[in-house]
Amino acid sequence: MDAITVIRAKRDRAELTDEQIDWILAAYTDGRVAEEQMSALAMAILLNGMNRREISRWTQAMIDSGERMDFSALTRPTVDKHSTGGVGDKITLPLAPLVAACGAAVPQLSGRGLGHTGGTLDKLESIPGWRASLSTAEMLAILADAGAVVCAAGDGLAPADKKLYALRDVTGTVEAIPLIASSIMSKKIAEGTGALVLDVKCGSGAFMKDFADARELAETMVALGTDHGVRTTALITAMDTPLGRTAGNALEVRESVEVLSGGGPADIRELTLALAREMLDAAGLAGVDPAAKLDDGSALDAWKRMIRAQGGDPDAPLPTAKETHVVAADRDGVLVAMDSFKVGVAAWRLGAGRARKEDAVQAGAGVEWHAVPGDTVRAGQPLFTLHTDTPETFDTALESLAGACDIAAPGTEFTRSPLVLDRVAASNR
């Protein structure tokens, strides 16, 4: 077996054999295949695709490159959720403790933000004392006690994916759907959860801008979960408009606690409940009403247990930015659109996100919006408040927000688009 033969096969649109897939990923992980060779193969996969068997085998080979977690000792059914990322997407924060309050165990391995999309770990690290790195034993203990844990994936989980992801990031091959799907699902399957719900974002602020691409990704990941014995469903959700009222780390934690207290923005509550119902159904707990757990304080109690178990103080004041700047509406009218991507880039430039993985983030930085599409606004009314410790970033953030809001004439009728665009389950294939 050699790398050039495998590259040529995919270049010439041939199916890779199981043996070729197993060999190339093992050899790349241990250094026998050069970066430029794997880069060529990744580009061939982007251009020529893979069929279901190839993607399933590729995913299995990445799982086999590392360890697998085992939650069979838990008395609760396990179910996890993964989002492909968006602006203001704080759903994991209220969702994990809510589903735990309903009787499931939620082992949530999450990541950090890069570019215009925020990272769950960055948000939670704005809570004083909270820590993302846990051993497997600590994860199990927290799941047994609090029912939910949100933490960083260990280095031993799908190391082939970690190496390949970094390569794709610098070779223009991030967009390959077979590689996106196998990257996400190799870690989720290796994590050992019994069921998985996917939130595939679609729109200007999402990785997948086009609905057809979002559906293809959702179907591919659902098939991978099914092929590997994990009950998997997906919701395709809108990301043309940012979620909630804030994008930023501590800002989003504060908003999530409002949702856990029975309030918060309507769209955050709606999507949290939609995903909770999917997760509870997948875990065999469909008879539990998650809305009641939000309203009676059970979810908030589960949140506090989860945060304390990871060293955080859920009652401590959250960090706030040193400087703020208000952006006002320039005319009367009806806000009919707010561009997620522009808002996300503004939050990133204010310090809430990072351009490189090594960059630090500001806990208090971000963007807060005071109107959402469908609202009537008046000239001079605040539309955004920008938060940062580095006021020199206001100018570039304001450049990012130029044209983010579309204000139509007063009296313009507005029809709100659905938040959940589609559902994909194994039976759809």
Active-site amino acid positions: 82, 161, 168, 183, 187
Placement of tokens 């509406």 in the chain: 329
Residue type, 128: P
Question: By CB neighbour count within 10 A (0-12 exposed, 13-18 middle, 19+ buried), where does 414 fall?
Answer: middle
Question: By CB neighbour count within 10 A (0-12 exposed, 13-18 middle, 19+ buried), where does 95 fall?
Answer: buried
Report the alpha-carbon distance of residue 211 to residue 201 in Å, rounded: 9
Report the alpha-carbon distance of residue 367 to residue 161 in Å, rounded: 33
> CA torsion sign, 144 to 148 to 150 to 154?
positive
Residue 106 phi/psi, 5° resolution?
A: -120, 100
